[in-house]
A and B are shown apart, each in its own frame.
Chain A
Amino acid sequence: DVKVTQSSRYLVKRTGEKVFLECVQDMDHENMFWYRQDPGLGLRLIYFSYDVKMKEKGDIPEGYSVSREKKERFSLILESASTNQTSMYLCASTTGRGDRSGDTQYFGPGTRLTVL
C-alpha cells in the first residue's frame, strides 16, 4: 500500500514564526503536491514538484516556499506565519509516468495548522 506520511497532525505556531511541514512517500513517486483545504473552498494547490529539486507554483504560492532535496520528501515552508495561513495542509503524490494524467493522487492524513 502506498503510504504518504506527514510530520504532524496538529501544529500551533505564533505569528511571524518559520514553520516547516514535512511529507514523505514510500512508493518512489515522481510528483508531489501541497494543498491547503479550507471550508467552502475545497483544495487549492500551493506548490508541486515533478522531480528532485524541481518545483512549480500552484494557484496560491504567496507566503510559502518548498524544498525537495530527496525524491521521497517534500517540505512546505511558511517563511513568516500569519493568521490567514491557519488551515488544513494536505500532501499528495502520484507516479506521473506515461501520459501524466489519470494517475491516482495518494494523500497524507493532513496537518491542521493554527497560527495565533
Chain B
Amino acid sequence: GNSVTQMEGPVTLSEEAFLTINCTYTATGYPSLFWYVQYPGEGLQLLLKATKADDKGSNKGFEATYRKETTSFHLEKGSVQVSDSAVYFCASASRGTYKYIFGTGTRLKVLA
C-alpha cells in the first residue's frame, strides 16, 4: 500500500542553521505531496504542496521539490528561526482516492 516515510526526530539546530527534513513516499501513480506544520497546542496547517513531478512548493522560506525519480519530497530552509520550532509532517494524496497518508512527524527545535 501507499506509505510516507520521514526522518525521525527530534532535530535540534541553532538559529540560522540550514534545515533538511527527508521524506520519501511509495504510491501507485503520481500523488500530490504536502508538508504540514503543527505548532505547540495547535492543529496541523499546510506549509507547502506540489501536485506533479518537478514542481517546487515554497512558503515562509521553506521549499520542497517533487522528485519522481527518487520518490522524495525533502523539506529545506536556508536559515531557521526559533519560531520555526514545531512538528513537521510529510503527506501524500493519490488521485481517485479521498485518503491522505501522513508520515510520523519530525520535531524540530531551534535554539537561540
- Give A contacts to B, CB under 8 Å: 4, 31, 33, 35, 40-43, 45, 48, 50, 56, 58, 90, 92, 94, 96, 99-110
Chain B residues 74 to 112 lying within 8 A of chain A, measured CB to CB, are 89, 91, 93-100, 102-105
Whether the pair B93, A102 counts as a contact (CB closer than 8 A) is yes
With the chains together, A56 CA to B100 CA distance in Å? Answer: 14
- Give B contacts to A, CB under 8 Å: 31-32, 34, 36, 41-46, 49, 51, 89, 91, 93-100, 102-105
Which chain B residues lie closer than 8 Å to A104 at the CB level? 34, 46, 49
User: What is the distance, in angstroms, from B76's C-beta to the closest C-beta of chain A?
Assistant: 21
Check A105/B100 contact, CB under 8 A, given A42-B105, A99-B95, A100-B95.
Answer: yes
User: What is the distance, in angstroms, from B26's C-beta to the closest C-beta of chain A?
Assistant: 15
Which chain A residues lie closer than 8 Å to B43 at the CB level? 4, 90, 92, 107-110
Whether the pair A40, B46 counts as a contact (CB closer than 8 A) is no
User: What is the distance, in angstroms, from B107's C-beta to the closest C-beta of chain A?
Assistant: 10
User: What is the distance, in angstroms, from A113's C-beta to the closest C-beta of chain B?
Assistant: 15
